[in-house]
Amino acid sequence: MQTWQVGDATITKIVELESVGDAELMLPAATPEAVEGIDWLYPHFMTRDGRLRTSIHSLVIETPERRILVDTALGNQKQGRPVDAWNNLDTPFLRRLAEAGFPAESIDTVLFTHLHMDHVGWNTRLVDGNWVPTFTNARHLVVREELDHWRADAETATDGMRRAYAAAFADSVRPVVEAGLVDLVGNRHQVGDGVRLAPTPGHTPGHVSIEITSRGERALITGDCIHHPAQLAHPEWTSHGDLDAAQAVRTRRELLSALADDRSLLIGTHFAGPTAGYVVRDGDSYRLHA
C-alpha cells in the first residue's frame, strides 16, 4: 500500500493487478527497442529487457469531510473482456480496500476519469446471478458527455472491442445508474474539499483527470491521458484505446508542460512502482522524478 499526503488530503493506492508486457498492447510504439534508451524507466516502470510494467489500481482520496474512490478497476467474475487475464477474476480487492481502512460502505463518493472497463469494474458485484452496486452509500459522479457516449455506443456496438465495452457498460455501469446512485456532472465539477475534475479529452470524449489541492499543495491523478511514464519521454505515443488520438497528444503535451512548470505531484492511474512523481523537463521532452 502506498500513500501520499497533499495538504490535508491523503491519497492511498489500492492495487488490483500488476503486470509486465500489457502496456505494449495499448501503446504499439512502445516496443523494447523504442524504450531501450529511456534509462530512467528502469527498474520501476520497465524490465531490463524493455518490457513495460503496469498496474491496475484504484486511488482513495481522504479529506477531512470525504472518502472518495477514484476509478474502480476491473472487478471480479466479469466476462467478455478483450484481455484473457481480465475475465473471471477472483482478487481480494475489496479486502485490500478494507484493510487499508476503507470498507466499501465507508466510501461516500466514487469518481471516474472515464468509463473504460478497467476503471468501472468494482462498481458492481455478482450476487445470486445479478450485478448489484458495491458502494451503496456513495454518489457516483460521472461526466455527462462520457455517460452519453458509452450509453449510445453500447446500443450500437458491432465489432469485438466495442462489444467488450458494451459488456462492461451492461454489468458495471448500467446497474449503478438504474439504482439511482449516479449524478451527472460537468467536466470541471468541483467535488468539494479541494477536489475537482479537470478536462483531459482525447482518450475518451469526457475524459477527466482529478485535481487535489490543499494548503498550497497540488496533485493530479492522470486517468488514461497518460497510460505509462514512457509517454513523458514520447508524448506523441498514442494508445489503441484513444478515440481521438490527435486530441490525446495535444492534451498530453499541454498537461506535461504545465506540470513541469508548477511542481504538482503526478499520480499515474496505471503507473507501477512508485506510481507518483514530479514532471521535469528532459531536453525536448520530459521525465518522471519519482
Over residues 252-287, the pLDDT tens digits come to: 999 999 999 998 999 999 999 999 999 999 999 999
Return the pLDDT at 161: 81
Report residue 174: phi and psi, to 5°: -55, -40
Return the pLDDT at 23: 67
Could you identify the residue written with the cell 529487457? 49
Q: Give the pairing of strands 139-143 and 2-6.
A: unpaired
Q: Give the model confidence (pLDDT) of 48-60 as tens digits.
A: 999 999 999 999 9
Q: Does the pLDDT value for residue 2 go beyond 80?
A: yes
Alpha helices for 28-159 (secondary structure H): 32-35, 93-99, 144-156
Cβ neighbours of 276 (radius 10 Å)? 21
Return the pLDDT at 9: 98
| Closest residue by Cα to residue 116 from 41, 245, 227 | 227
Q: Give the model confidence (pLDDT) of 33-46 as tens digits.
A: 999 899 999 999 99
For residue 187, count CB atoms less than 10 angstroms from its CB and return exposed for 0-12, middle for 13-18, buried for 19 or more: middle
Domains and CATH numbers, the chain: 2-289 (3.60.15.10)
Q: Does the pLDDT value for residue 129 go beyond 90?
A: yes
d(CA 191, CA 47): 38
The residue with greater pLDDT, 25 or 178, is 178
Rounded to 10 degrees, what is the CA torsion of 268, 71, 262, 243?
80
Please report, for residues 5, 141, 260, 275, the alpha-carbon distance to residue 263 in angstroms, rounded to integers and kept in the order given: 15, 28, 6, 16
Dihedral sign (CA 163, 165, 171, 174): negative
d(CA 134, CA 209): 23
186-203 mean pLDDT? 96
Q: Give the model confidence (pLDDT) of 76-114 as tens digits.
A: 999 999 999 999 999 999 999 999 999 999 999 999 999
Amino acid letter, residue 73 = A
Return the pLDDT at 155: 79
Q: 195 CB contacts (<8 Å, ≥6 apart)?
A: 9, 61, 63, 66, 68, 111, 210, 211, 212
d(CA 283, CA 278): 16
| Closest residue by Cα to residue 262 from 200, 233, 220 | 220
Please report, for residues 81, 141, 223, 235, the alpha-carbon distance to residue 271 in angstroms, rounded to integers and kept in the order given: 21, 23, 10, 15
Question: Is residue 74 very low, low, confident or very high in pLDDT (cuts 50, 70, 90)?
Answer: very high
Q: Does the pLDDT value for residue 157 go beyond 70?
A: no
Q: Is the omega angle on the peptide bond into residue 235 within 30 degrees of 0, that is, cis?
A: no
Please report, for residues 145, 181, 183, 205, the alpha-carbon distance to residue 177 in angstroms, rounded to integers and kept in the order given: 15, 6, 9, 19
Dihedral sign (CA 39, 42, 48, 52): negative
Q: Does the pLDDT value for residue 171 go beyond 90?
A: yes
Q: Does the pLDDT value for residue 200 go beyond 80?
A: yes
Q: Does the pLDDT value for residue 202 go beyond 90?
A: yes
Whole-prediction pTM = 0.96
Q: Give the model confidence (pLDDT) of 207-264 as tens digits.
A: 999 999 999 999 999 999 999 999 999 999 999 899 999 999 999 999 999 999 998 9
Look at 10-14, 156-160, 182-186 and tell me which has the smallest mean pLDDT.
156-160
Are 268 and 259 in contact by the 8 Å Cβ rule? The answer is no
Cβ neighbours of 161 (radius 10 Å)? 11
d(CA 197, CA 182): 16
